[in-house]
Amino acid sequence: MRSRSRAVSSAILLAAIALTASACSGSSSSDPLGGGSGGGSSVVVGSANYPENVLLASIYSQALQAKGVKVTEKFNIGSREVLYGQIKDGNLTVLPEYNGALLAYLDANSTAATEADVNAALTKELPSSLGILDSAAAEDKDSLTVTQETATKYDLKSIGDLAAQAPNFTVGGMPEFKSRREQQFKDAYGLTFKDWKPTADTTPNAIKDGTVQVGDVFTTDPKLLQLGLVSLADPKNVFGAQNVTPLVYKAGVNATATAALNAVSAKLDTAGLVALMKKVSIDKDDPQAVAKDWIKANGLG
């Protein structure tokens, strides 16, 4: 299973650090980590180096600019291991984060699962210089997913609804998915699947073509829309909260910036983020343009 911690091996991490000075960025600076925090005169919005995070950072940036906040963009920097140190030192001011993944990074032993519990735990774990703003309803997390046809045929709305059919279903996911989740599904929902098949990044296609009947797919994967798949609700929080949440360097954000970022969170839900990611990842639209259209459509610009 792909990890929301987006951890990298030490070799990859060293490479990421070495490459940050030349990383491709939507920033006004050629060096994504250079220039500090804009001399204190601008909010520096950073991002990790994958499309969804760049899109979210673009939305944050444009929402801030729409309220008259001067912004410096430093996108595509690298992994959380690089980003966290930069915002902790004040070289970045705002990052789009995922609350559960950030908590796991700071406290690998935390058992917090709900949005409220995760955010409460995060507030305790973060240094006094950092804070989180309002979390969005949008979550990018694991989900058990089926085709629309399967959901309709068996009246599946939540993971618990799989109990009667699980003995006949093969479930797909990353090679480690079984070892991580099999007992949790038994304990929380009473599920015993017929078989577990490693399908890795091909899981959405494997669900669609019937290789597996249910699989682990991230809730913002644009293939959910492209292939007509349905993510089942997880009321018992086997998959912990992964809400999109602004992480901020407190000294760099004023009331205007805070209000602008909270307004984004109030409008951003998972279905909306999936639609935006389809435009970026499948339709190949420019993330900045997609962000601009979303800001306008939601009355934030």
The pLDDT of 178-207, averaged and rounded, is 95
DSSP string, 242-291: -BEEEEEEGGG--HHHHHHHHHHHHH--HHHHHHHHIIIIIS---HHHHH
Residue 301: its pLDDT value, please? Answer: 86
The pLDDT confidence band at residue 14, using thresholds 50, 70 and 90, is: very low
Give the largest Cα separation in the chain, rounded.
Answer: 61
**Residue 195, phi then psi, degrees to nearest 5:** -160, 160
Residue 104: its pLDDT value, please? Answer: 93
**pLDDT of 264 higher than 70:** yes
Residue 10: its pLDDT value, please? Answer: 36
Q: Kindly report, residue by residue over 208-245, the tens digit of the pLDDT.
A: 999 999 999 999 999 999 999 999 999 999 999 999 99
When comparing pLDDT for 9 and 116, which is higher? 116
For the domain bounded by 10-139+246-297, which CATH number is listed?
Answer: 3.40.190.10
Q: For the chain, which residues make up each domain, given as ranges?
A: 10-139+246-297, 142-231
When comparing pLDDT for 187 and 39, which is higher? 187
- C-alpha 283/C-alpha 266 separation (Å) is 26
Q: Do domains 10-139+246-297 and 142-231 have the same CATH topology?
A: yes
Residue 41: its pLDDT value, please? Answer: 74
**Residues written for the chain:** 301
The pLDDT confidence band at residue 164, using thresholds 50, 70 and 90, is: very high
Domain 142-231 fold = D-Maltodextrin-Binding Protein; domain 2 (3.40.190)
Is there a contact between 140 and 98 (Cβ–Cβ < 8 Å)? yes
The pLDDT of 163-189, averaged and rounded, is 95
Percent of the chain with pLDDT over 90: 84
**pLDDT of 21 higher than 50:** no
Name beta bridge partners: 147. Answer: 229
Give, in order, the Cα–Cα distances in Å from 110 to each of 101, 125, 240. 11, 10, 11
Residue 103: its pLDDT value, please? Answer: 96
When comparing pLDDT for 11 and 259, which is higher? 259
pTM, whole model, 2 decimals?
A: 0.83
Nearest to 47 by CA among 99, 84, 10, 7: 84
When comparing pLDDT for 295 and 25, which is higher? 295
The pLDDT of 35-63, averaged and rounded, is 84
**pLDDT of 175 higher than 50:** yes
Q: Kindly report, residue by residue over 287-296, the tens digit of the pLDDT.
A: 999 999 999 9
